[in-house]
Chain A
Amino acid sequence: MDPIVIVGSGLAGYGLARELRKLDREQPLAVVTADDGSAYSKPNLSNALAAGRTPQQLVNASAEAMAQQLGAAIRTHARVDTIDVPGRRLLLAGGGLRYSRLVLALGADPVRLPLGGAAAHEVLSVNDLADYTRLRGKLEGARRVAILGAGLIGCEFANDFAASGHAVDVIDIAPQPLGRLLPAEAGLAMREALSRAGVRWHLGRTVEAVEYAAAGLEIRFAGGERIGADVVVSAVGLRPRTQLAQSAGLAVNRGIVVDRSLETSAPGVYALGDCAEVEGHVLPFVMPIMHAARALAATLAGRPQRVSYPAMPVVVKTPALPTVVCPPAPDRGGAWTVTGDAQSLAARFLDADGAMLGFALTGGECGKRQAWTREMPPLLV
């Protein structure tokens, strides 16, 4: 019997494998991964430095340990070239791999800004443990760190690096940090809290180029101003990995298009995690991945289950200002109502009838998370 094959060993791939094994120890299972197959928690990458954890300490289990724990064959350092959909097999270096069912847990690629300058290639993106290990190597002995992007990951990195004694500059074209998630008052509170932690902001600014300087690197803004940096990190967003699916003829939009069973346009081929688009939702966060993993595990174990999403708050891991946000769906009309002061804000996004469609909590108000989540409508019933 051909195995169920999962492509990808991130939280989605291993999360699914773990959930499947809770339901079914019998079906043969294989995981194909482009990296070394270490199991680690990606959210920890943006708070490991101040916690004093080395990249190696972030590994929960090696590929060998995962293979044993999951009763699965794990092929590491293996990139899939093509999916032969009618033949139900993957083509990869070293031959083919037949599957009974295929799951794409490919993740997403970091978005790269089009930057000029001789040192543009020195800009680091951190999308996996190998990238992060490289970053930590560069941070050794480096004082000045510039971060491109004031979103979730940009703010978490800024807090982590500043708390570890680095001089941190954060640059974004938006006028406030976390502009796509938070109401203006909470964005301002985040800005002030990270300023107190030592972060310098360059908001409403566009980076044109990264050049080599006499010492380290130099960032040049549109308009000509320059700042120095020893390390430049880019955190400007993620783009679902769709190329493999597209070249195999699967339906692709922003992500790999799947239905509520997480099945792609090809029967027997599924997708979940950062690469997947579920009824228009592309949600690169842990909680939706875990909901999808549980539903798909049941389906693969022979008990078909559709994924449903409750309201899923996102934690912004910035110790300078703990923050939880449950963003309203982009197409929903409404307005924010904010109470509290900068250290402790509670914001509700209300529609015209006064129904809560989203919320944001900071500091001491974060304890309202569970109660407010229960008041929220589910994302996908």
Chain B
Amino acid sequence: MKVWQCIVCGFVYDEAKGLPEEGIAAGTRWEDIPADWSCPDCGVAKADFEMAEVAAVV
């Protein structure tokens, strides 16, 4: 499981937690999130996200 961070606003996507309130189940890997998904905090496209330095391994 990895952690991703939006380079624009700092929003963190943690694969282990998912985003249940947006219909993305816990454990959803980054590559399985639709390409048209955008950051819930600032609206940037998925392509503008970057891998955060913290990358936990299960």
Give residues in A with beta carbon < 8 Å to B.
11, 15, 18, 39, 41, 43-44, 47, 57, 60, 286-287, 289-291, 315, 317, 367-371
Contacts and interface: CB of A to CB of B under 8 A. Distances in A.
Contacts of B41: 286-287, 315
B26 interface: no
B43 A291 contact: yes
A11 B6 CA distance: 12
B10 A11 contact: no
A345 to B, nearest CB: 17
Binding site of A, secondary structure by majority: helix, strand, loop or mixed?
Answer: helix
A44 B11 CA distance: 9
Given A367-B20, A370-B22, A11 B43 contact: no
B42 interface: yes
B22 A286 contact: no
Nearest to B21: A367
A286 B22 CA distance: 20
Nearest to A57: B53
Nearest to B40: A370
B25 interface: no
Given A286-B42, A290-B42, A290-B44, A371 B21 contact: yes
Contacts of B43: 287, 290-291
Given A60-B50, A367-B21, A44 B10 contact: yes
A60 B9 CA distance: 12
B7 A60 contact: yes
B33 interface: no
Given A369-B40, A370-B21, A370-B40, A41 B9 contact: yes
Top 3 closest pairs, chain A to chain B, by CB: A286-B42, A367-B21, A44-B10
Given A18-B48, A41-B6, A371-B21, 19 more contacts: A15-B44, A39-B7, A41-B7, A41-B8, A43-B9, A44-B10, A57-B53, A286-B9, A286-B41, A286-B42, A287-B41, A287-B42, A289-B42, A290-B8, A290-B42, A290-B43, A315-B41, A368-B21, A369-B21
Interface in B1-28: 6-10, 20-22
